[in-house]
Amino acid sequence: MKPLKLPLPGPKAKAIVERDHQAISPSYPRGYPFVMDHGKGTEVWDVDGNRFLDMAAGIAVVSTGHSNPKVVKAIQDQAEKFIHISSDFYHENWVKLGEKIDEISPFSEPAVSFMCNSGAESVESAIKLAKNYTGRSQFIGFLGGFHGRTMGALAFTASKAVYREGFFPLMSGVTHVPYPDPYRPILHCKPGVSYGQTVLNYIEDEIFHRIAPANDVAGIIVEPIQGEGGYIVPPDDFFPGLRKICDKYGILLIADEVQSGVGRTGKWWAIEHFGVEPDIITIAKGIASGVPLGIMAARKSITEWEKGTHGNTYGGNPLACAASLATLDLIENGYMENATKVGQYTMNWLNESKQSHPCIGEVRGKGLMIGIDYVVDPETHEPDKNMRDRIVELAFEHGLLLLGCGESTIRLAPPLSTSQAEMEESLMILDYVTDLALDGHV
């Protein structure tokens, strides 16, 4: 069935966007004028009554679907009891959430959690813990990485220069190295050396040797699958090698699971796909289905920092904890498995679609964290940003919410509850608008 072209933006949406331009900071990187009215699962409706399928889930956040009844009930029940008490005191759901994180954490030793309000704040917490524990000042980050926009996290974020422009000096002590992207490698591989190993050699032989002495390095902050940078999956040998480097020099391995974590890739944590145990993980986005919550979880043996060293007002917010407990229960009891199943279905479909669409250079990802990379030429892998942008625009006009990432990639990061039928409908729209874009429609 041919997807309908919607009359967008409708009059109500248009009016709200105009008011927004007067009252809200223009710094937000808005894409297209979707003005939400309500949502249910993977479906959302705008203020003019248009229906869309949501493959973006509020930047990979609404993990259990929009307004999942169990999450809504948990928030309502908690709101009736109390909404806030502050991190000066205690409450049971906060402890329960810490216990749950311990149970599902990727550490073989117990986990201790620090709760905050966003991904960036969880990264800030990890930076501070790493400095506090090691007494060292230097860090390694990755080109293409995204870790947030606060001044510490921003020192690691290296996906687009616009995020940093005009904000220097950032936190000092961060050296960036290429992310192991085998599709568009930056470094030259010596004969017989894999690209994963090439990046590891670059860290150990060049960076430690010439710029940042290993004994001064507190931590390496890395996304197990790079998100904003383009949904890039590193080669299998990379993380085991990185763990070895960390062990050799007493460096903490900090896995930023803000986008890739909480079941999105079909495992609780994306780092688990590589058989490696980090020392710290940073969590946010999907952890509470959209109620703001960040968590920095670390191996217990490195979290002996003193009372008052780090804290906040909203840590352990009761609404966020209640939403998170309900979210984790839903993910554990079906949605994580669904992410693997529907993710596989999606990968198969897209790989098939790639055969008839040479503009698709690569399809990559795990579970429901899938990137479609558009290229000018499948041989050279030259990114086709215009094609990606045209497809995102046309998809919106035909009832499909998509988000870009990297130079020329579309990310599929729908709710983990998305059914195969909803995914099929989304992919049919995507194929349809890809053909339109190829025909030169905008």
Ligand X SMILES: Cc1ncc(COP(=O)(O)O)c(C=O)c1O
Query: Considering the rule CB under 6 A, would residue 289 count as an interface residue with ligand X?
Result: no
Question: H or E segment at 382?
Answer: strand 382-383
Footprint of ligand X on residues 178-207 (CB under 6 A)? Answer: none
Whole-number Å distance between alpha carbons of 270 and 342: 17
Q: Rank residues 144 and 343 by Cβ distance to ligand X and give the closer one.
A: 144
Residue 404 CB contacts under 8 Å (≥ 6 apart), including other chains: 31, 388, 389, 392, 410, 411
Number of residues that bind ligand X (CB under 6 A): 15
Q: Rank residues 239 and 349 by Cβ distance to ligand X and give the closer one.
A: 239
In sequence order, the β-bridge partners of residue 362 are 373
The interface mask with ligand X, positions 268-287, x = CB under 6 A, is ----------------x---
- The pair of structure tokens assigned to 245 is 């480097």
Q: Is 143 left (phi over 0), alpha (psi -120 to 50) or beta?
A: beta
- The pair of structure tokens assigned to 258 is 């803000």
Query: Considering the rule CB under 6 A, would residue 120 count as an interface residue with ligand X?
Result: yes
Q: Is 113 left (phi over 0), alpha (psi -120 to 50) or beta?
A: beta
Query: Considering the rule CB under 6 A, would residue 228 count as an interface residue with ligand X?
Result: yes
- Binding segment (CB under 6 A) for ligand X, from list 134-142, 223-231, 353-361, 407-415: 223-231
Q: Is the Cβ–Cβ distance between 276 and 289 less than 8 Å? A: no
Whole-number Å distance between alpha carbons of 169 and 202: 26
Q: Rank residues 223 and 279 by Cβ distance to ligand X and give the closer one.
A: 223
Q: Is the Cβ–Cβ distance between 339 and 266 less than 8 Å? A: yes
Footprint of ligand X on residues 136-155 (CB under 6 A)? Answer: 146-148
- Binding segment (CB under 6 A) for ligand X, from list 38-46, 86-94, 115-123, 408-416: 115-123
Whole-number minimum distance, CB 192 to ligand X, in Å?
33
Query: Considering the rule CB under 6 A, would residue 119 count as an interface residue with ligand X?
Result: yes
Query: Considering the rule CB under 6 A, would residue 227 count as an interface residue with ligand X?
Result: yes
Whole-number minimum distance, CB 333 to ligand X, in Å?
26
What is the full DSSP assignment across 141-198?
A: EETT----SSHHHHTT--S-GGGTTT--S--S-EEEE----SSS--SPPPTT--HHHH
Query: Considering the rule CB under 6 A, would residue 229 count as an interface residue with ligand X?
Result: no
What is the full DSSP assignment across 205-242?
A: IIIHHHTS-GGGEEEEEE-SSBTTTT-BPPPTTHHHHH
Q: Which residue is nearest to ligand X (CB)?
A: 119
Whole-number Å distance between alpha carbons of 161 and 77: 44
Q: Rank residues 123 and 394 by Cβ distance to ligand X and give the closer one.
A: 123
Select the residue interacting with ligand X from 63, 68, 259, 426 (CB under 6 A): 259
Query: Considering the rule CB under 6 A, would residue 365 count as an interface residue with ligand X?
Result: no
Select the residue interacting with ligand X from 225, 258, 319, 391 (CB under 6 A): 258
Whole-number minimum distance, CB 147 to ligand X, in Å?
5
Footprint of ligand X on residues 42-61 (CB under 6 A)? Answer: 59
Select the residue interacting with ligand X from 46, 256, 407, 425 (CB under 6 A): 256
Query: Considering the rule CB under 6 A, would residue 411 count as an interface residue with ligand X?
Result: no
Tokens 């197990």 — which residue? 224
Query: Considering the rule CB under 6 A, would residue 369 count as an interface residue with ligand X?
Result: no
* Interface with ligand X (CB under 6 A): 59, 118-120, 123, 146-148, 223, 227-228, 256, 258-259, 284
